[in-house]
Amino acid sequence: MSDSEIRGRETVVIIGSGPAAWTAALYAARALMEPFVFEGAGSRTMIPGGQLMFTTEVENYPGFKDGVMGPDLMMEMREQALGFGTRSIWEDVVDIDSGRYPFRLLSNTGTQVLADSLILATGANAKWLGLKNEERLAQSGGGVSACAVCDGALPHFRGNVLAVVGGGDSAMEDSLYLTKFAEQVVIIHRRDEFRASKIMSERALTHDKIRVEWNKVVTEVLGDETITALRLEDTVSGEVSELEVGGMFVAIGHTPNAGFLNGVVELKDNGYVETPMPWRTETSVPGIFAAGDVMDDYFRQAVTAAGTGCMAALEAERWLAHRGAAGNEHSEELVVRD
């Protein structure tokens, strides 16, 4: 990247547009850091605003006694941050030079920006089965979800037979959680034993409201406005059957939106951004911070994402104040944390 092509130098650049990103932007803007946000260009599975843009009613975000629609919540967060002076652009960051200071960012349209500090808040994508009607009903609020804790308590799931697809610890946790609201929980697993830990498997298998469909895969999600049943195929015999359900929860994992960060900062073995110090958001590169689901492989909730966005902005502000980076015009090599 040549200096003549660079758009400008920013005190703090935030990549992302979910709860973590907009909370970080709000805190940074109120601290007069004039944050610049790359909201993202959007794709089939992820649009600016993050996973909440595909969520209908959100009942577990504080401050909304009657709940709030996911897109409405994200729009309110965005407008609040912009109201305090945040600037944004709907482009994807495709390359980051973290070896020189200030950091250099390149977008998918060729926009180049220098950053005195950087907050990574690109979120994560839930893994889906890839069925056409699954995606449609998930986006319309028709009874398909990838987050039991987020959606399981909603009225239209209560008292129904609910299916959980998966065989790991997340699937066991989701199934046990859903027993609070469901008439029955049916775990659908493609093998004849779970991948989950022994203790989690035993808890699920011994629960009187949980049963298992072994050696089964979902081949079709049935229903027009709401889910009515699942078409299953036996992985051993090939036999096809139908299971009537009032909801389906997909629990086969998440993929952090961190592929473009490989070589920029240290990543965990599972692909999430590593934050070496507990309860801190700084990454392996001083001056680069991470917030939300791109670094959180455990909670993955909107409210925890917002909390880490606050933390990242505060850490960035204090790091810059301590370093005296704002207004420091010369380029230099950075020492990366071991």
- Burial of 152 per CB tally in 10 Å (0-12, 13-18, 19+): buried
Which residue is catalytic, options 147, 174, 293, 296? 147
Catalytic-residue membership of 147: yes
Single out the catalytic residue among 92, 116, 150, 174. Answer: 150
- Considering only CA atoms, which of 252, 243, 229 is closest in space to residue 174? 252
* DSSP-assigned letter for residue 108: T
Report CA-CA distances (Å) from 294 to 81, 82, 122, 299.
Answer: 21, 23, 6, 11
Q: What 3-state DSSP class applies to 212?
A: strand
Q: Which H or E run includes 25?
A: helix 19-30
Q: Please identify which of the residues 92, 151, 174, 296 carries the catalytic annotation.
A: 151
Structure tokens at 297: 């492989």
How wide is the angle at C-alpha 232 spanned by C-alphas 190 and 243, nearest 5°?
A: 120
How large is the greatest C-alpha to C-alpha distance in the chain, in angstroms?
Answer: 69
In contact, 87 and 34? CB cutoff 8 Å = yes
Concerning whether 310 is annotated as a catalytic residue, the answer is no
Cβ-proximal residues to 329 (8 Å cutoff; 6+ apart), any chain: none
Q: Which two tokens stand for residue 231?
A: 């078409």
| Active site residue ranges | 147, 150-151
